[in-house]
Amino acid sequence: MDNLNSEIIATGSAKLLMELGVEEIPARFLPDALINLKNNAENLFEEYRLSLASIKTFATPRRLTLIAEVERMQRSEEKETWGPPVNVAYDENGNPTKAAEAFAKTHNIAIENLQRKDKGKGTYIVTIIKEIAKKTPEVLPEILSKLILSLNFPKNMRWGNGDLRFVRPIHWVLAIYDNEKVIFDIEGIKSDSMTRGHRFLSPASFEIKDVKSYSNLLRNNFVILDQEERKKIIVEEANKLAATVNATVISEEDLLEHVVFLVEYPVPVLGSFPSDYLSLPRELLITVMKGHQKYFALEDSHKRLINHFIIVSNTKNINAETVKKGAERVIKARFEDARFYFAEDTKMPLKDRLEGLKNVVYHDKLGSLYSKTQRIASIAEFICNRCCPDKKDNISTAALLSKTDLITGVVREFPELQGIIGSYYAMKEGYNDSIAKALREQYLPSHTGDVLPKTDTGAIVSLSDKLDNLASFFMLGLSPTGSEDPFALRRQAHGIILILIDKKYDMTLLELLDTALKPYEIKDKENILSSLMRFFEQRIDYLMQLEGYSADFVASIMPFVGTSPLCRVKDRLTALLEFKNDPDYDSFILAMKRINNIAPKFAVPPVKKDLFAQADEELLYKGLAEITLQTSSLLKMNDYIGSLKSLKNLKEPINNFFDKVLVMDKNEDIKMNRLSLIKEVQAIAQQIADFSKLS
């Protein structure tokens, strides 16, 4: 007996196979469909009290498959259901009321069988229903029907005269458990043990008699079931083909995943195109190959694009030449279109396109793209004057040209090339490298983990664009709510935060946002600014915790977000993390807790030395005076770790003060003077961090 069958007997489980055969599902839907299928199956089997020893899901364009090892018998279970209180269920004579009768009827139980149980301070009627264990084949039809109907897709359709809505028409359902058919019905389609192979290479139906042979039988009929195996075949064969022309495949993980779900029988084929198209921008060629045709581009050892590509066909190797010729014919036509757009675009300089932006609506309440460009230029000028006055000409030019490529033929046809194509046109027109790079960098970072702008010109244009977006949409009351963020404002806020930290620009968020709101005449500007600041605080909290800083550390530096450059806020966090390794950290935090626990929240008069009645008051005051001078000097140099180490010297005077001095003295003047002293200690500490937030 083989190992698989031994395991089944030992665990009391058997193999389940369900395959849903459909017309071609869009490749972009399938990764999520696999997760959906697995999660829903696990939930349903748990709901039906069936244990799973293993579960795997597979997908091709024409099928969704579940293979699981399922216990042969449900778990029995006693279910306790609580009813109304006894004094509601029975009258004063002990007779059941309508409430008791309704409860008994709902649960199909005789009234005399109702039980009573205490819960909290009351007694309630209870019914205990024993769920009898059934054999797995008895409940599988219901489970599998529910599983199929539970699958969600971004878009569904109806077909024929039925009411079922599904991603594509269902053609067959294969279901076997323990090598026996599981019979159920989905919209008139009866489950069976039959499946089908490749649509063109092996379209006939054939029977699956056992789960073990399923994958190999599909392979014999030109279907590679496992998506990971298809991926491996594509990568290995594509690399071999690339090596024949001394090239490597340009890595595109998203393209690879997409192609994996486009085919059932992957056969990579090497194609070529006329080398004169290589004069077009690299990104334009790759976008045509990747975005429109799902081809893999190739490059040489110097990272230069070559005039070859790889297409993954869904047919036999014998048809490779036919596939190659067809792909080459199509890509040549596509490249010819791209060359035409590129040539037409270069006939008009970018600066001459500025007027054309007046005819493009950015938002119906925010005017045209031309108006937006003017706002970007104004914000960029403000930042430039503060941070990079020597780069004013470059930044001003880049800001004005930033959106001009949006009305070019290439970007209209390939929107994903915005900024990139503008950069090529700028270089072609003789603009310097700083301006050309800025046009490319203005949209960075475009996603989590993306690179940041490297040049100051690009960084400032990017900041200005994003600041304008946030200020404008918050001004209109279109801030993100819950999971809704149609204008990607969270992502843009992240970009602003990361750029400001990276570039160490000596500007606060508050003044940047205030500048971005200046073009608008608004009455409640302070409220909008407050909303924007709260929004940014949430984003900073999220990003800093994502970097590994604890929630209490992040909370402790939040008071500085509006008043200090973000690079300095980040420096405070870094210093706190370093200070945490200090041997005295914990005892110092405890001393600061003693301060914060009693420090008054109201205004207090200045400390009066002549009211000191004990030596430890004077020692704390003297130590505070010395530390204040030190920390003030260190903070001016942004030396936060030095400030923390200096502040640490107050630990002993603070503890001695609390151990030996009664703060709440009967003499009101002495008591208030001691509270003032505590308040001053808290105030100097709060120049570094809010220690009350640290745990």
Rounded mean pLDDT of 257-280? 97
Residue 454 counted as domain residue:
yes
How far apart CA 582 and CA 643 sit, in angstroms, is: 13
Query: In CATH, what number is assigned to the domain containing residue 600?
Result: 1.10.730.10
Q: What is the dihedral of CA 601, 604, 608, 609, to 10 degrees?
A: 10
Rounded mean pLDDT of 641-669? 94
How far apart CA 542 and CA 551 sit, in angstroms, is: 9
- Number of H-type helices and E-type strands within the chain: 26, 18
State what percent of residues in the chain have pLDDT above 90. Answer: 86
Residue 484 DSSP one-character state: B
Measure Cα distances from 216 to 67, 213, 221, 267 in Å. Answer: 14, 6, 9, 18
Helix pair angle (456-475, 433-441), 10° resolution = 40
> In which domain, by residue range, is 104 found?
77-131
Residue 176 counted as domain residue:
yes
What is the SS3 assignment for 352?
Answer: helix
| Per-residue pLDDT tens over the stretch 369-414 | 999 999 999 999 999 999 999 999 999 999 999 999 999 999 999 9
Nearest 5°: the CA angle 656, 659, 663 is: 100
**105 against 63, higher pLDDT:** 63
> Do the beta carbons of residue 264 and residue 314 sit within 8 Å?
yes
How far apart CA 596 and CA 686 sit, in angstroms, is: 10
In the predicted structure, residue 225 carries a pLDDT above the cut 50: yes
48, 84: one domain:
no
Residue 577 counted as domain residue:
no
Burial of 581 (0-12, 13-18, 19+ CB in 10 A): exposed
How far apart CA 99 and CA 106 sit, in angstroms, is: 11
Residue 576 counted as domain residue:
no
Q: Which residues are CB-contacts of 595 (< 8 A; sequence separation ≥ 6)? A: 654, 678, 681, 682, 685, 691
Backbone angles phi, psi at 207, to 5 degrees: -95, 140
How far apart CA 208 and CA 193 sit, in angstroms, is: 6
Residue 421 counted as domain residue:
yes
470, 534: one domain:
yes
> Closest by alpha carbon to 202, among 181, 192, 217?
217
Burial of 45 (0-12, 13-18, 19+ CB in 10 A): buried
In the predicted structure, residue 345 carries a pLDDT above the cut 80: yes
Give the domain-ending residue among 298, 314, 345.
345
Give the domain-ending residue among 131, 165, 196.
131
How far apart CA 14 and CA 37 sit, in angstroms, is: 20
140-155 in b/e form (b: 16+ CB < 10 A) is bbebbbebbeeeebee
557, 607: one domain:
no
How far apart CA 516 and CA 416 sit, in angstroms, is: 27
Among the residue ranges 57-66, 72-81, 179-188, the one predicted with the least confidence is: 72-81
How far apart CA 207 and CA 81 sit, in angstroms, is: 46
Per-residue pLDDT, 187:
83
State which H helix or E strand residue 620 sits in.
helix 615-636
How far apart CA 398 and CA 214 sit, in angstroms, is: 60
The tokens for 191 are: 């489950």
Per-residue pLDDT, 121:
80
Please name the amino acid found at residue 429: E
Rounded mean pLDDT of 342-366? 96
Write a three-state SS string for 111-178. HHHCEEEEECCEEEEEEEEEECCCEHHHHHHHHHHHHHHHCCCCCCECCCCCCCCECCCEEEEEEEEC
How far apart CA 550 and CA 159 sit, in angstroms, is: 53
What is the SS3 assignment for 108?
Answer: coil
127, 139: one domain:
no
112, 59: one domain:
no
Q: Which residues are CB-contacts of 135 (< 8 A; sequence separation ≥ 6)? A: 72, 73, 74
Give the domain-ending residue among 131, 149, 176.
131
Residue 275 counted as domain residue:
yes
pLDDT-based confidence at 39, cuts 50/70/90? very high
438, 470: one domain:
yes
| Per-residue pLDDT tens over the stretch 290-323 | 987 999 999 999 999 999 999 999 999 999 999 9
363, 319: one domain:
no
517, 424: one domain:
yes
Average pLDDT, the chain: 94
Total domains in the chain come to: 5
163, 239: one domain:
no
How far apart CA 109 and CA 131 sit, in angstroms, is: 14
| Per-residue pLDDT tens over the stretch 521-536 | 888 899 999 999 999 9
370, 488: one domain:
yes
The neighbouring-strand residues paired with 55 are 68
**263 against 1, higher pLDDT:** 263
How far apart CA 257 and CA 440 sit, in angstroms, is: 27
Query: In CATH, what number is assigned to the domain containing residue 177?
Result: 3.30.70.260
519, 536: one domain:
yes
Distance of CA 486 to the CA centre of its chain: 14
Residue 518 counted as domain residue:
yes
493, 366: one domain:
yes
Residue 7 counted as domain residue:
yes
The number of C-alpha atoms within 13 Å of 64 and in the hemisphere containing its C-beta is 31
| pTM to 2 decimal places | 0.83
